[in-house]
Each structure stands twice: as C-alpha cells, then as structure tokens.
Structure 1
Amino acid sequence: MEKIDGFITSWLSHRKALLELLNTVDNEYLHYKPWDNAMSLSELVLHISGAMGMFVNTVKSGVFTPPPAPKSFETVEDLRTILQAETEQTITELESLTEEQLEQLVDFHGTKMPGIALLEGAKDHEIHHKGQLFTYARLTGAKELPFFVSSAK
C-alpha cells in the first residue's frame, strides 16, 4: 500500500532522529524539566511513543483507544530500548492497516476525519514534541545534536 508505506517512511525519519537525540542525553537529565509543570525529558519521550501507538490503534479500531501506561526505566539506555521496541511494534501495526481503515472516518475528541488524516496529525504531534526535546537537550548542555530527520537504516 503506497499510502501507508509513504507515511511510515516519513514518520520513521523523525522517530530515528528522536532515537539519535537520546544519544546526547545523560542519565542525570532523565527527569529534567525546564519548568515545574512541564513533562520531564523521559516523560516526554514516553508520551511521544505511547501517543503514536494510541493513534494507530484508534485508526485500527475506529474508536478512541487510550495509550497504555508508560513502561518503567532507570537509564537512558532503558528508555532507548523501550522507544525502539515500541517503534518496531508501531511499524507492525501501521503495516497491518487496510485501505478501508485509512479511509474510514474516525471520531477523535469530537472531530471526524479519515484514518490517514489522524495519522498525519499524530506525526505532527510527534514532531512538535520532538522539537521540545531538542530544546531540553540544549538546556541540559548537549553540544552536538542530530539533524531533525534521519535517513539511518
């Protein structure tokens, strides 16, 4: 399916950059928050990952499907492992979507849109939060950041 293959390629270029970004973060900054009510760096990573799975499962089922509880971790490497595993699971779920699921209208918080439009919004959501994480990384002293998209295999 060309439509979903193009989506996966585009989305993965951002997800891979997020995985690369985690290489610039030290364990001491996992709970860093730039202000009191912000999500921590690690909470934001888990939010991004869980949200994409939520959007895909919502398109798959046709009804809002809440994200699972975030997984626990202790180190940046644990966080990378979680993100990598959830990325692989999301790829599998995306590849299983049918043309009908991509075209069906999904009600997401009172807005009805085709499944593919919801997925595009999900990618925009991830890009938005990934940008926040680039800022977090700079605020924690990271000097060399990856490019905002990645073509790594």
Structure 2
Amino acid sequence: MSKLSGYINGWLSHRKALLELLKVVGDEQLTFKPWENGMSLSELAIHISGSTSMFVNTVKTGVFTPPTGKKEVSTVKELIDFVETQTEFAKEELEKLTDEQLNSIIAFAGMDLPGKAILELAKDHEIHHKGQLFTYVRLLGIEEVPFFIYRP
C-alpha cells in the first residue's frame, strides 16, 4: 500500500498547512464571513476537517456516509484541537483501508467511482476549501500566511 502511504503524506501536507493557517487568526475572527450566506471561518475549517472522515468512511463502508452533528467552537485553540483530532482520526482510518476497498466501485455524487478516486476527490475538496480560507484570512488583512502546503 505504498501508494496509499504517498496519498496520506500528500493529504497531510495540506492538512498541516491548514493548521498553520489557523494559527495566524484570532478568536474574534472565527465568525468572519465574506458574504451573508457563506460559512464562517471556523465553520469552513470544521467542514474541511470533518469532510475528510466522511469521504474515508464512504470508501470504508462502500456507501455514502454523510457527516454527523455540527461542531461549534469559540476559540482558535478549540478549533485547532478539533482539527488535530479529526486529522488523527482520518489518518488512522486511511491507514486501515484495504486494496479491496480502494478498488471497489462506490456510488457517489451521481457517479460510480473506485474508492481511490473518491479519496482523490477528498483531497481536492480539502484543497479547494483551504484556498477559500486563505482568501478569508487575506480579506481580514492578515499578510503573513504560511505556504499552501506544509514545509517543516
């Protein structure tokens, strides 16, 4: 499963960049929305971190598994703690996936895709929304932001 290991490392480079990005915002900025019907900064970060588990669970079970519950946070520390917990959970679940699950065809979003393609959608989804968060942070006037992928 070296391909899966490579996938996990690539995904983590984006997730760690998200965590670094969250470190540059303040508690008072968590409710920022660029437009009335958009997600707030914290809601978008929660959406990103929770949705990866949704994609992984879909591949694991072979059936679309929608996210459950709604998480709310009031501080950046709470948000970072939540994202870190979700990251560890998703990483552990990714590591358990079998070749059979990765190759199984699953009905997802009107398409029939192998599990590994659904995982690629998960990473694309995360990258898309992480880009939105970078825009949020810039709109808040924050100039010093991390690189778009994690570089230790």
Question: Shift in Å at residue 72 of structure 1?
Answer: 2.6
**Count of equivalent residues:** 152
Aligned alpha-carbon RMSD (Å): 0.8
| 1:50, distance to aligned residue in structure 2 (A) | 1.1
**Structure 1: which 5+ residue stretches go unaligned?**
none
Cα deviation code 1:56-82 (max 9, x no counterpart): 000000000011223232101100000
1:16 is aligned to 16
Q: Does 1:37 align with 2:27?
A: no
The corresponding residue for 1:103 is: 103
Give TM-score scaled by structure 1 length: 0.97
**1:4-153, aligned counterparts within 5 Å?**
4-152=4-152
Structure 2 Cα separation of the partners of residues 73 and 128 of structure 1: 22
TM-score of the superposition, structure 2-length normalised? 0.97
Shift of residue 151, structure 1, vs aligned partner:
3.3
| Equivalent residue letter for 1:38 | G
In the aligned structure 1, how far is the partner of 2:27 from the partner of 2:151? 26
Taking the aligned partners of 1:51 and 1:70, their CA distance within structure 2 comes to 12
Query: CA offset at residue 102 of structure 1?
Result: 0.4
Kindly provide the CA deviation profile for residues 132-151 of structure 1, in whole angstroms up to 9, marking residues without a partner as x: 00000011121200000013
Which AA in structure 2 matches 1:82?
Answer: F
Question: Which segments of 5 or more consecutive residues in structure 2 lack a partner in the other structure?
Answer: none
